[in-house]
Structures are given as C-alpha cells and as structure tokens.
C-alpha cells in the first residue's frame, strides 16, 4: 500500500489510531456483481500521524521538495508519483523553475499543509483534504494554513474554511516559491476513496452546525450531470418521467453556491445520480438516507461512493450501465441507462427505506 509519508515515523504524533472498517454489500446487490464490491467489504486503515518537516520548499502547484528531492507528500498515489519521477526532463525543469526562476518567500513559524496533487478537485478537497484538516484542527489555533494560490479562487474551498473557523491562511502565488521553517503535515486519514468513518461523520456534524437544511427533511433529489462536460446520462430525458412520478427534484449543483449545495444535501433522504463529484455531497446527508449511483458496467476500482455511503450510514443502491461509446475512457464516458431497470431500482430504494442494518467499524447498528 502506498504510504504518503517517508519512513521511519518513530516519534511522529498519532492523530488517529489505525482502524478497520467493515461495509455491508449494496442494498440491491446482484450476486453476479459481487466481485465488483467484495474487495471493499473490509479494509484496514493506517494510523494518521503528524509529520514535522523543516526547510521544505512549496511550489504554487502544490509540490513539496527539499534539496534535490520531491517529497512523497506531494502525491495522492504511488502511480502518480512514479509517473512524475520517471519524466526526468520534467523533474529537471521543475527544479530550474523553483530554484532559479521564481522569487523566494519565506514562512517563519509553523505552517499546516493538508493537500496533495489531487486536492484541487471538489471530491478530493472535501473527502481527502478536509478530512486531514479535521484530524489536525487543534493546530489551527497556532499554525498558518498554507495553500497554493489556485485554491483561493475556489468558492467551495473558501466557504469550507470558514466553517472550520480558519484564522490564518496564506497562499503561495504563481510567481513565487515558499520555504517553510516548520511545515506540519497530517498524513492521509485513509487512502483516497476510503474513509475514516469517525472523521467523515465528524465533518457532517461540523457542517450541520454551520448550515441549516434547505427545506424539510426527507427530500428526494436527482443530481443531474446534464450540463457537465463528461460522465453524463446520454438518455436522461427517458428517466425524467419516473423521477417526477416518484417526487424527485432535479438539481444541477453547478447552479448553486457551496453553502446551498450543503443545505440541499442536508434536506435529502434520497439522492440519485451517475458517478461524479456531486455525489460527494452525501457527506452532508442525515444518517439513514439512501443513495442510488449509476455506474459504468464492470467498474470495480472507483467504489468511492459505495464506500462513502457506508461511512455515512446511508443505504447504497446502484445500477450498472453501458457506455455510450465503449471505446471511451471510463473516467469520461457518458452512460446509457435502462429506463425499466431504473424505475425498478427507484421503487426498491423507496420501498426499503426503513429496512436493514448499516455497518461501521464496529459492526451493525
């Protein structure tokens, strides 16, 4: 397993102990699909530790380096790290740019770092970066949160930092490179796509205290990706009759500021969408709700939302769908949804709303 910190870690403060999560299968699991999920039913999570790095350089792209070494804390996965380091010409250009072409800015005192090369995305910011910030939130009283400048332009980043009550935040500009006297780095609370369940629920409680749900609890929300550039439902109009019949509200989250997205999710008991970042907002749904994800046929690696639903004690339903273009990459392909099966799964989800256990680290609840 990739470890996003160097070894040894002897003496590094433990923020969260190692744990093991156990997940119930999807509520509508087809036995033929078991192998798509079985490897997620139980997962060991490493402890989260607090590293103290001294004299570290921070590039505006969010890369950490010291001397002639790019630090592993820069990366979200070993595959990305190996790919970057294999491009020797790119690595050389990286050091030339940051040691010779950019002006230096020094940060005295303690700075806090919670991002990696994927954190600029909505899912990875909420599920990974904010989880690390939550684990290290006691440090915000004394440390300055340090981020690349691009994060300052993201409304969901600014709004979520307000919820945390961040007092001091500094941004590394595009034309500069920061050098930190003491950089405090909480390691990941779980490999990306997995979750420390206590942290995930703690985030829900934190945001519930900051925002109030939009409308009464028990809402039915269909999150449309019809205006997204990729991973859309190609035949979405064929699904709308069933959605309207069952009382679902069609929402395009890109039309709503972050606070309103949180409030909509807080008021939802049922959330339906195809695979995409908007499903991350189940992080704010009340416990006991249900999520229905439209997935590409054969998908077994991107079980992020199945895992998140389990962490949030939500029932998870799914439907496998063929891509509109079988040759297109799974990360971008539009899906074709069988309307009959879609209706059947909606009926099943609504009918099972009150039944069955939900699992966490310690078993059924």
Q: Considering the chain, what is the average pLDDT of its residues? A: 91
- Whole-prediction pTM value? 0.91
pLDDT band at 33 (very low <50, low <70, confident <90, very high): very high
The strands making up 290-296's β-sheet, listed across from edge to edge, are 249-251, 219-223, 268-274, 290-296, 315-321
- For the segment 94-114, the average pLDDT, to the nearest whole number, is 96
Q: Higher pLDDT residue, 214 or 168?
A: 168
Please, which pLDDT band fits residue 177 given cuts at 50, 70 and 90?
very high
Beta strands per DSSP E along the chain? 13-16, 19-22, 42-45, 48-58, 64-66, 69-70, 103-112, 144-148, 169-172, 176-186, 219-223, 249-251, 268-274, 290-296, 315-321, 359-360, 363-364
Q: By percentage, how much of the chain surpasses pLDDT 70?
A: 92
pLDDT at 218 over 80: no
List % helix, strand, coil for the chain (3-state, nearest 5): 35, 25, 40
The CATH architecture of the domain made up of 203-353 is: 3-Layer(aba) Sandwich (3.40)
What confidence category does residue 74 fall into, taking pLDDT thresholds of 50, 70 and 90?
Answer: very high
pLDDT for 229 equals 86
pLDDT tens per residue across span 297-315: 999 999 999 999 999 999 9
- pLDDT of residue 205 exceeding 90: yes
Domain ranges of the chain: 13-22+47-186, 203-353
């Amino acid at each position: 397993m990739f470890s996003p910190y160097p070894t040894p870690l002897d003496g590094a403060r433990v923020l969260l102990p190692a744990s093991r999560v156990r997940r119930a299968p999807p509520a509508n699991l087809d036995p033929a699909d078991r192998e798509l999920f079985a490897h997620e039913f139980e997962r060991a999570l490493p402890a989260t530790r607090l590293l103290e790095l001294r004299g570290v350089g921070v590039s505006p792209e969010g890369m950490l380096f010291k001397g002639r070494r790019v630090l592993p804390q820069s990366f979200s996965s070993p595959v990305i790290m190996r790919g970057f380091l294999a491009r020797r010409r790119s690595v050389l250009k990286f050091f030339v740019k940051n040691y010779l072409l950019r002006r230096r800015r020094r940060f005295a005192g303690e700075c806090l770092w919670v991002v990696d090369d994927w954190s600029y995305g909505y899912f990875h910011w909420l599920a990974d970066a904010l989880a690390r910030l939550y684990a290290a939130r006691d440090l915000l009283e004394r440390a300055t949160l340090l981020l690349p400048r691009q994060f300052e332009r993201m409304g969901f980043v600014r709004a979520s930092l307000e919820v945390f009550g961040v007092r001091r935040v500094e941004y590394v500009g595009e034309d500069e490179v920061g050098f930190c006297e003491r950089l405090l780095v909480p390691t990941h609370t779980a490999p990306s796509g997995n979750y420390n369940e206590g942290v995930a629920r703690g985030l829900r409680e934190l945001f519930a205290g900051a925002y109030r749900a939009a409308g009464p609890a028990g809402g039915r929300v269909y999150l449309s990706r019809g205006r997204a550039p990729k991973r859309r439902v190609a035949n979405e109009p064929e699904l709308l009759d069933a959605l309207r019949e069952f009382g679902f509200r069609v929402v395009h989250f890109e039309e709503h500021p972050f606070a309103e997205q949180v409030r909509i999710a807080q008021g939802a008991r049922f959330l339906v969408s195809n695979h995409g970042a908007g499903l991350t907002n189940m992080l704010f749904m009340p416990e006991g709700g249900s999520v229905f994800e439209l997935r590409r046929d054969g998908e077994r690696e991107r079980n992020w939302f199945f895992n998140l639903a389990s962490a949030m004690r939500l029932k998870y339903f799914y439907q496998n769908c063929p891509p509109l273009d079988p040759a297109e990459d799974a990360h971008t392909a539009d899906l074709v949804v069988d309307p009959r099966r879609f209706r059947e799964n909606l009926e099943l989800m609504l009918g099972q709303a009150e039944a069955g256990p939900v699992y966490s680290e310690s078993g059924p609840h």
